[in-house]
A and B are shown apart, each in its own frame.
Chain A
Amino acid sequence: MTEIIQKVKNLSIGFKSKKGEEILILRNISTNIKKGETVGIVGESGSGKSTLALAMMGYVKHGLYTIGGECEFNSSNLLKMKNRDLEKIRGRKIAMIPQNAGQALTPNLKIGYQIDEALQLHSDLKEEEREQKISELLNKVRLPSPETIALRYPHELSGGQQQRVAVAMALAGTPDLLLLDEPTTGLDVTTQAHVLELLNFIAKDTGTSMVYVSHDLGAIAQVSDRIIVMYSGEIVLEGPSRDILKKPIHPYTYGLLKSIPKLSLAGLPQSMPGSQPQPGTMHRGCSFFDRCDFSEEKCKSNSPQLEYLEELNTSVRCFNHKSLMNDSQVNQTVNKIKTSLQDKEILNISEVSISYAKQNLLDQVLNRISDDNPTVKDININIKKGETIALVGESGSGKSTILKSIAGLLRTKGGVIKFDQKRNLSSDLKERDPNDLRIIQLIFQNPDESLNPNHTVEEIIAQPLKLYFGLKGEELKKNIKELLQKVRLGEFYMSRYPRQLSGGEKQRVAVARAFAAKPDIILCDEVTSALDVSVQAAVLNLLQQLKEDFGTTYIFVSHDLAVVRAISDRVAVLYQGRLCEVGPSKDVYQFPSHPYTEVLLGAVLEPDPDIKPKLVAEDIVEEKPPQKGCSFQGRCSRILGDICKNEIPPWQITNSGNSIRCHIPLKELQKDQIN
């Protein structure tokens, strides 16, 4: 039997509420981490996964305390250890890579120096040996030319490279156990796939055990041997990764897998109702009861115990797992989206270019922007009424920039934005009349930022109603109630503040506020990326429903290609502020595609251990678009040579109406991509 290196026994962690009650964040957790295995811990935010990971290195966050149980490492309980002894273990025996570790590097110290510090702290190497070790580590995390990288500052590296440096630092003490908390969240799809591949390689190469914490089943699926699923502070399912992803025998995991959009499926996945109970609000009985499709009377008052099933090597906390066992192949059904597309064009964007360059004095006087290589260039898109068009691309590709100009928040350098084929919309707010402002509304990525924390839900939704329609008193109240009903929130939410709402509820309020203006077009900037997977599907379904009811047009920005696939009629792929491919969703997701679309599609992580990402191009980040030629030339693996460097590629149109901008003829693109 393989050696167990970390043993968590009956661990409960919690805090005292203002009223003096003991509130549990982790409830009686027991699990073992074996030598050399990678364990994925999944759960939505607030399920306690990070608390568990931190406890595994003997750390309990300020304000929380251990109520019972232990974390045993090398046969001593980390949670009872003195700080002095813990310091000898942390970094050397157990290392951690926190979320955004790459961004947490000290900005004014060279990479090599920072790794050296970690080595001094966590190893007994002498100075001469350390130098050698630094390049060894940088090599191990596959950074190009370690010697030069060591001399750079963090800001001279891309996000993915920074994350690699963080991994190198964590490996400095040759730990036996590596804890990773959301190590790829916030990275681009392509970068994420590369970093995960690296972690896989390191796990195999060094035999380090890893505990990988994430809310993203797609990422977990790529790295873990075993998966622990957490729900409101408890383990609800634990077992071999493949079984859990292919035949989940717990209703929560089952529902979760069904609610994740997949690349292979157009249409909206089914949503899971409700949200995870807050700590302290748990009742007797199963904590998943409110949201469970398989619940029975007894689940309401009896809490199921974690039951180990020998034949599956799986532990499950559910009375009804047997009924799921027979039929738990996740057969995903999707609600096909109805397109409400009309023939009429509602927004014409032609030749738009946008620049962030500072204006010099002459430009300011002449009120113009001169920049021959602007951030966004040559954008031509005609949007039909009732359409959902998605803009996709990596971070920095200019998606939000384009949205801002459409909303009038950022001046364009050139080009025309035309509404309803007649009115020109100025890209400067001050030049728009109130009606032009009303017809376009925005929904933002993070509802925590987009809702004023000092306003109640009622005040938030009242704003557009008062501003555009001058509603008052009873009339106003009635409208607010109707809108809340539209986004499936009860009337009693009116008096709540945003901090009293869950993430999904907040986003619904933001949606209600946008619809309050009765807009023609809604700009959605990453509206689901701050939400938990189980809530994401519900918000997407809501958006789709509202759109069908009101005939609204959506311009939908997302980095998540599966979400885009689920909701959009048409997709525009952007690289470095230039369009690469525009076409109906179903065609963009099929070959032939632009080489960049191929890279993006290859990097998508699916919650399926059998679908591995295809890493086509390097994950380097370019700071500026090239002066001339194809925007993707710097990373294209199929670059033809000088023609790509010098000439802007032509638009080629496939039979199905998909436009691709590349010098490679369509036939050849197709041939190579099918292989």
Chain B
Amino acid sequence: MKLDNIYQEEKKSNFAKVSEIIITMASRPSGFIGLSILIFHVILAFISPYIAPYDFKAINPTLMLQAPSAEYWFGTDDLGRDVFTRTILGGRTALTITFFGSLIALLWGGLLGIFCGLVGGKTDDIVMRIVDAFLSIPWILAMLLIVSLLGTSTEVLIPALGFFYGKGIVRVARAATHDVIAKDFIVSARARGHSNFSIIWNEIIPNVRDAILVEGAMRWSWMLLGFSSLSFLGFGVSPPTPDWGLMISNARGLMSFAYWSVIAPIVGLSSLIIGINLTADAFAKALGIDRSTKAPV
């Protein structure tokens, strides 16, 4: 007997469903914290250009490496730029690129996974081998290759990241589809003569959607870490645009005497990753999905 049968709810609108999920997520302390951090970062990304106290690229040699003060809250960096300004602006690019990168990962990973799960057999074997082979190349090397060949523009970074982070989603989508495909309602739809498209759209996607979304949210935080590493290596965001990865990389040599210039971006980056992670976990729990693989941090 299923215990959640007890309260027989009526059909809800999509809006009601989404808000119910969000409320469930927020009712757990970890989910609440995660959501708050994430929302904070998103809002910050939108409003930071308007609230930034200084110009992020204004170099001022007379103000090099100032310690935090009432004027420069987080101090200044080696070029005399305001660290506070650069920190609140530093998440924008990363957040945008990885958000769209995750959408692409979701799309191709989800669809390919569903396709493999549906057709099964040899096609499935071959496709999965190819996906595995492709992605057993250390992703950072491959990314470096792509970036050095095609440049570091957003149009390159988004699809490249999306491609490399879709692998895990292929696996999850495929496994979820495998579970569904064995069910009699699929057999029933086949026997009625529905088209493959209709079977995927009406029967499979509603049943695998949750698992794929959760995986996508998880991948987002991985991708953020990956993208920041690229920036750190100098292949992500190009200067002078502020970016946490880039800022950490620039300031790391100064850590011993100008700790402020490195702490602020580290806090920014790690809090966002933790925020997304906690949110994804809470999302999974709210949907009743058991995640066995754990977050990267």
- Given A278-B5, A453-B207, A500-B5, A437:B185 Cβ within 8 A: no
Chain A residues lying within 8 Å of B185, measured Cβ to Cβ, are 449-452
A449 touches B184 (CB 8 A): yes
Contacting residue for A444 out of B184, B192, B194, B207, CB 8 A: B184
B193 touches A496 (CB 8 A): no
B9 touches A500 (CB 8 A): yes
A407 touches B6 (CB 8 A): no
- Check B189 for interface membership: any CB of A closer than 8 A: yes
| Docked CA distance A429–B191 (Å) | 7
B184 touches A446 (CB 8 A): yes
- Check A15 for interface membership: any CB of B closer than 8 A: yes
- Given A446-B184, A454-B206, A17:B6 Cβ within 8 A: yes
A409 touches B2 (CB 8 A): no
A499 touches B4 (CB 8 A): yes
- Check A245 for interface membership: any CB of B closer than 8 A: no
Chain A residues lying within 8 Å of B6, measured Cβ to Cβ, are 17, 23, 278-281
| Docked CA distance A408–B190 (Å) | 9
A15 touches B3 (CB 8 A): yes
Chain B 190-222, CB-CB to A under 8 Å as 1, else 0, gives 111110000000110011000000000000000
- Check A65 for interface membership: any CB of B closer than 8 A: no
Chain B residues lying within 8 Å of A280, measured Cβ to Cβ, are 6
A82: min CB distance to chain B, Å? 27
Q: Counting chain A CB atoms within 10 Å of each CB, which of B3, B192, B203 scores highest? A: B192
| Docked CA distance A499–B189 (Å) | 19
Residue of B nearest to A445 (CB): B184
B184 touches A63 (CB 8 A): no
- Check B1 for interface membership: any CB of A closer than 8 A: yes
B206: min CB distance to chain A, Å? 4
A441 touches B192 (CB 8 A): yes
Chain A residues lying within 8 Å of B207, measured Cβ to Cβ, are 452-454
- Check A414 for interface membership: any CB of B closer than 8 A: no
| Docked CA distance A278–B5 (Å) | 8
B192 touches A464 (CB 8 A): yes
Chain B 6-18, CB-CB to A under 8 Å as 1, else 0, gives 1111110000000
A467 touches B194 (CB 8 A): yes
| Docked CA distance A517–B192 (Å) | 9
B10 touches A467 (CB 8 A): no
Chain A residues lying within 8 Å of B193, measured Cβ to Cβ, are 429, 432, 434, 437-438, 467
A45: min CB distance to chain B, Å? 6
Contacting residue for A442 out of B11, B191, B202, CB 8 A: B191
B158: min CB distance to chain A, Å? 31
Contacting residue for A45 out of B1, B187, B189, B192, CB 8 A: B1
| Docked CA distance A17–B5 (Å) | 11
- Check B183 for interface membership: any CB of A closer than 8 A: yes
- For chain A, what secondary structure do more than half of its interface residues adopt (helix, strand, loop), or is it mixed? loop
Chain A residues lying within 8 Å of B183, measured Cβ to Cβ, are 449-450
Contacting residue for B1 out of A46, A440, A517, CB 8 A: A46
| Docked CA distance A407–B184 (Å) | 13
A476: min CB distance to chain B, Å? 15
How big is chain B's contact interface, by range?
A: 20 to 34
- Check B188 for interface membership: any CB of A closer than 8 A: yes
Contacting residue for A495 out of B7, B10, B188, B192, CB 8 A: B10
| Docked CA distance A456–B11 (Å) | 8
A444 touches B8 (CB 8 A): no
Please provide the chain A residues from 404 to 456 with a CB less than 8 Å away from any CB of chain B in the complex: 407-409, 429, 432, 434, 437-438, 440-442, 444-446, 449-456
Chain A residues lying within 8 Å of B188, measured Cβ to Cβ, are 442, 444, 450, 513
Chain B residues lying within 8 Å of A463, measured Cβ to Cβ, are 189, 192, 194, 202
Chain B 158-194, CB-CB to A under 8 Å as 1, else 0, gives 0000000000000000000000000111011111111
Residue of B nearest to A492 (CB): B10
| Docked CA distance A440–B185 (Å) | 16
- Given A444-B184, A500-B5, A495:B191 Cβ within 8 A: no
Contacting residue for B191 out of A23, A45, A437, A468, CB 8 A: A437
Chain B residues lying within 8 Å of A651, measured Cβ to Cβ, are none
| Docked CA distance A434–B5 (Å) | 37
Chain B residues lying within 8 Å of A468, measured Cβ to Cβ, are 192
Chain B residues lying within 8 Å of A446, measured Cβ to Cβ, are 184
Residue of B nearest to A447 (CB): B184
B53: min CB distance to chain A, Å? 47
- Check A591 for interface membership: any CB of B closer than 8 A: no
Chain A residues lying within 8 Å of B4, measured Cβ to Cβ, are 499
B11 touches A496 (CB 8 A): yes
| Docked CA distance A665–B207 (Å) | 57
Please provide the chain B residues from 201 to 250 with a CB less than 8 Å away from any CB of chain A in the complex: 202-203, 206-207
| Docked CA distance A446–B5 (Å) | 18
Chain B residues lying within 8 Å of A46, measured Cβ to Cβ, are 1
Chain A residues lying within 8 Å of B184, measured Cβ to Cβ, are 444-446, 449-450
Q: Counting chain A CB atoms within 10 Å of each CB, which of B2, B8, B184, B194 scores highest? A: B184
Chain A residues lying within 8 Å of B203, measured Cβ to Cβ, are 452
B187 touches A409 (CB 8 A): yes
- Check A497 for interface membership: any CB of B closer than 8 A: yes
Please provide the chain A residues from 58 to 73 with a CB less than 8 Å away from any CB of chain B in the complex: 63
B8 touches A496 (CB 8 A): yes
A452 touches B206 (CB 8 A): yes
| Docked CA distance A456–B10 (Å) | 10
A499 touches B206 (CB 8 A): no
A323: min CB distance to chain B, Å? 33
13 contacts between A and B (CB under 8 A): A278-B6, A279-B1, A407-B191, A409-B187, A444-B188, A445-B184, A449-B184, A452-B206, A463-B202, A497-B11, A499-B5, A500-B5, A500-B9
Q: A279-B1, A452-B207 are known; give 13 further A-B pairs, CB within 8 A.
A: A18-B7, A278-B6, A429-B191, A437-B191, A440-B191, A442-B187, A442-B188, A449-B183, A450-B184, A452-B202, A495-B10, A495-B11, A517-B192
Q: Which 10 A-B pairs have the closest CB atoms?
A: A454-B206, A437-B193, A450-B184, A495-B11, A449-B184, A46-B1, A444-B184, A452-B185, A500-B8, A280-B6
